[in-house]
């Protein structure tokens, strides 16, 4: 397997359509959109695969990855919240209320 792929065969048709739509909307080349998607995807894959014994992700420090992910995840998280699809939205509130209905944190 090549370390430096030169072909983008087998990209799902829907993914390519999304890239073309973003390209038109943002006046970017499809290559630029795919490059950004690759960076975002690599960040997510690093996190999904978990840390090594030192707490790093493929040699990257957690603080660095957290800062890098913030700009990639803010809009998708807002989107999920807006549609009621965020996985933690259904979790019960951790703020307790006293009998008068005011928060104990007030």
- Given a cut of 50, whether residue 96 has pLDDT beyond it is no
Q: What pLDDT is recorded for position 10? A: 81
Q: What pLDDT is recorded for position 55? A: 80
Whole-angstrom distance, CA of residue 95 vs CA of residue 103: 7
- Given a cut of 60, whether residue 94 has pLDDT beyond it is no
Whole-angstrom distance, CA of residue 18 vs CA of residue 30: 10
Q: What pLDDT is recorded for position 54? A: 80
Q: What pLDDT is recorded for position 5? A: 63
Asked if 56 and 64 touch (Cβ cutoff 8 Å), the reply is: no
């Amino acid at each position: 397997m090549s370390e430096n792929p030169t072909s983008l065969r087998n990209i799902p048709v829907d993914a390519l359509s999304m890239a073309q739509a973003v390209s038109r909307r943002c006046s970017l080349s499809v290559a630029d959109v795919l490059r950004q998607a690759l960076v975002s995807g690599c960040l997510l894959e690093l996190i999904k695969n978990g840390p090594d014994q030192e707490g790093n992700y493929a040699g990257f420090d957690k603080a660095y990855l957290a800062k890098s992910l913030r700009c990639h995840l803010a809009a998708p998280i807002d989107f999920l919240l807006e549609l009621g699809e965020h996985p933690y939205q259904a979790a019960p509130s951790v703020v307790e209320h006293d009998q008068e209905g005011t928060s104990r944190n007030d």
